[in-house]
Structure 1
Amino acid sequence: MTNQKKILIIEDDANMGFLLKEFLTTSGFLVELATDGDAGLNAFLKNGADFCIIDVMLPGIDGFTLMERIRKEDPEIPVIFLTARSMKQDKLKGFNLGGDDYITKPFDEDELLCRINAILNRYQKNDSTESEPEISCNIGKYLFETQNQALIFENEIQRLTYRECDVLRMLCSNKNNIVRRSDLLNAYWGRDDYFNGRSLDVFITRLRKRLANDPNVSIENIPKVGYVLKD
């Protein structure tokens, strides 16, 4: 099956890792299992992956640090944190680092599978640039080219991530009008909830920094409603 997606699981509980590997294999994925952070990083660097499931509490490199190192190699790879750590600050850290989801143990395998497929579908939609018309949008002194994921200011090019590009595209398409948080979250995170909302806040902050060279450009926050891109 040439279209099979490869999932890398980094989980130090050998029994759980084996059961999860068997479940995802029977669900149609190619699966590699590593049992500590160092082995997980080596497996990714050697064999690659289309998706990572990472335990936070790992021997060697911890899960948060591991994700940061993996994302340096592949900034767009989807990542789910799977962990027994359910404290709010841990979840926020996972999302603020750019994790796509955070699932606490014990978990339902069918729910995990649904979340994996939902995340993959969103990434695959982002990859299908041929099906989306290119938008060139002037934002103050910036030129935003969606197909190239480029934000250009005085011949200096910044390459945006998929998620940054998606959020800015929606803001730009509705420039000087309110874009509702719920619309952004449902379109690009799959659901409107507290933790995804915090992840959206991180991307809005990144976009503000990227647009900081033109003082006339702003992304205004409308509390409890959404955002307005102004220039």
Structure 2
Amino acid sequence: MSDKIKIILAEDELALAQIIKESLETRNFQVMHCKDGEEASVEFLKNKPAILVLDVMMPKKDGFTLAKEIRKIDKKIPIIFLTAKSQTQDVVDGFNFGGNDYLKKPFSMEELIVRIHALLGRISNDNKEENLSIGSYTFNLTKQILSHSETVISLTHREASLLYLLIENRNEILDRSIVLKKIWGDDDFFNGRSMDVFITKLRKKLSLDTNIQIINIRNQGYKLID
């Protein structure tokens, strides 16, 4: 059991939860199913998982509230939201509350598994520098931190992955579709909205150096200038 990847699944639809649980357990996951947000909160503190899959609409405590509370304790653990909601603002809210990905119901198990592995994965560090310079910042991909003078800023895995690609392609257009497929696994509309949110977050975290810009190249992608 010790070599299995621990995952908390918070889902109040028991039939769906059972399907997800059984599917993940055949793929080397140890699934801790919780039927509501409060139970998931207790389970998170008791058994530190590698990733959380949270339904948004749950009794006692909804997924957004739970994610916000978890982010106060752990800023890096990957969180995927499962929801029937599909409005653009719901997607934006999900990421603002600390989510890393957003999967609309109904979904295929293969899609969920691909997204879980994408979040758990790490960009290969072969032949890559430990520290990268960006303007007056130092970026450590492995530790997922940005340093500026005495200020240290923690990044999520997805923020770090996106920033790394921007740095590697600085002063060039980073193709939107390629990034979405590489980091999000799909270049659909909702993942595109997610990427826009993460770009906004990176701009804020890089704002201590006014020379750094992440420019939106309409219908193409983004360009990092420092």
- Given the two structures, how large is their TM-score scaled by the length of structure 1? 0.84
Residue 105 of structure 2 corresponds to 104
Query: In the alignment, residue 104 of structure 1 is paired with which amino acid?
Result: K
1:143 Cα deviation from its structure 2 partner: 2.5
Hey, what's the Cα distance between the residues in 2 that align with 1:45 and 1:95?
A: 22
1:76-225 → structure 2 map (5 Å cutoff):
76-97=76-97, 98-105=99-106, 107=107, 111-112=108-109, 114-126=110-122, 129=125, 131=126, 133-225=128-220
Say if 1:229 and 1:10 are closer, same or farther in 2 by CA, change over 3 A: same
Query: What are the Cα deviations for residues 67-109 of structure 1, in whole angstroms up to 9, with x where unaligned?
Result: 222233333333332233344433343244324132314x4xx
Hey, what's the Cα distance between the residues in 2 that align with 1:143 and 1:151?
A: 6
Query: In the alignment, residue 225 of structure 1 is paired with which amino acid?
Result: Q
Hey, what's the Cα distance between the residues in 1 that align with 2:29 and 2:134?
A: 42
Root mean square deviation, CA, Å: 2.4
Identity of aligned residues (%): 41
Hey, what's the Cα distance between the residues in 1 that align with 2:155 and 2:100?
A: 17
Hey, what's the Cα distance between the residues in 2 that align with 1:157 and 1:38?
A: 32
Pair member with larger Rg: 1
**Contact 2:8/2:31 (CA < 8 Å) preserved in 1?**
yes
1:182 Cα deviation from its structure 2 partner: 1.2
1:39 aligns with 2:39: yes
Aligned length: 225
Of stretches 36-45 and 140-149 in structure 1, the one that deviates more from structure 2 is: 140-149
- Given the two structures, how large is their TM-score scaled by the length of structure 2? 0.85
Which secondary structure state, in structure 2, belongs to the residue aligned with residue 17 of structure 1? helix
The runs of at least 4 aligned residues of structure 1 exceeding 4 Å deviation read none
Structure 1's unaligned 5+ residue stretches are: none
Residue 75 of structure 2 corresponds to 75
Structure 2's unaligned 5+ residue stretches are: none
1:57 Cα deviation from its structure 2 partner: 1.5
Hey, what's the Cα distance between the residues in 1 that align with 2:14 and 2:121?
A: 34
Query: In the alignment, residue 126 of structure 1 is paired with which amino acid?
Result: R
Say if 1:93 and 1:70 are closer, same or farther in 2 by CA, change over 3 A: same
